[in-house]
Amino acid sequence: MRSIPRWLLLVVVVLIAAGHVQAQKLFTRMLPQQTGVTYRHDYSKISVSKDSLGRINSMVPGCGVAIGDFTGDGRPDMVFSSFVGLGFFRNEGDWKFTDITASIGYPDDSLQFSTGVNLVDIDADGDLDLFVSRWQNRCRFLINDGKGRFTEKAAEYGLDFQDETVNSAFFDYDSDGRLDCYLVIYSNYYALVTNNQRSDSAVGAESEQRQRQGSAIPKFESSGGSLREDQLQKLQEITPSELRHAGHTDKLYKNLGDGHFRDVTYGVLDRR
């Protein structure tokens, strides 16, 4: 009786192993037709020129998604964000979602130019609230009533910051048991850098003052990637240790525990 060649046995083993690995694939693509998640970044809904939109898109990291049970039924829901506004989808179970944006309690078109979104129970009442970062518009803080309807309270909380905000993070930075807020700010700036012998403390104080006055360095303007002559004349020399002060600094807000936040950026982020 002829024995089976070893190489043939090896081929059989490899094929069986490959088939086993293929059967163990971790992810399956779920199409919008299956899930009902039909949110689109349809920029035709934005009332800006195509030329302006093209410049914005080249500079801005612009979309977000957050997953959490904001309807209170025990299933993780989804909220999407982009320049066209927000999209809310309730999880019905079995990978089926329903678009509930129209019933969420806040008009979608008022949340255009949104970037990142963050679900967080900021008032510790057991339901998830929604912080919305926005591009050159005031951030929004949508407080959940426990039934998936929201009331906007960013100004009341002291978090209606307006800048080129990309996203947020909530964490207890000072270990007082309350969630504080860190805002990530997009920055597209030029800096003229030189070395000198000034102390770090002097550099920090001077650059902080320049930034508060808006004169640290000129903001980039779309002009073929170059600075205009009048902008170059306004450049001031800064050192490498000063670069973290240049442009727009990320922001840190301390939770005061009474429904309000206070900007502590320069008191905390400047520490060495």
pLDDT in tens, 211-266: 555 444 444 343 334 444 444 445 444 444 444 444 567 899 999 999 999 999 87
Q: What is the mean pLDDT of the chain?
A: 76
| Mean pLDDT value of segment 148-165 | 93
User: What's the confidence (pLDDT) of residue 247?
Assistant: 52
How far apart (Å, rounded) are the C-alpha atoms in residues 159 and 165? 12
State residue 161's pLDDT score: 93
In percent, how much of the chain has pLDDT > 70?
58
Q: What's the confidence (pLDDT) of residue 10?
A: 72
Q: Can you give the pTM of this predicted structure?
A: 0.71
Supply 48's token pair.
């800006």
The CA distance from 144 to 128, in Å, is: 6
Q: Tell me phi and psi for residue 151, to 5 degrees.
A: -120, 130
pLDDT of residue 105: 81
Exposure pattern of 49-75 as b/e (b: 16+ CB <10 Å)?
A: eeeeeeebeeebebbbebebbbbeeee
Q: Is 42 left (phi over 0), alpha (psi -120 to 50) or beta?
A: beta
What digits encode the pLDDT tens for the residues 184-221? 988 654 444 444 444 445 545 555 565 555 444 444 34
CA-CA distances (angstroms) from residue 18 to 13, 21, 105, 131, 211?
9, 5, 51, 46, 59
Task: Determine the pLDDT at residue 36.
Answer: 97
Question: 252 near 269, Cβ under 8 Å?
Answer: yes
Candidates 105, 107, 120, 18; CA nearest to 68 is 120
Tens digit of pLDDT for each residue in 1-47?
556 666 666 766 667 766 555 557 789 999 999 999 999 887 766 76
Q: What is the pLDDT of residue 232?
A: 44
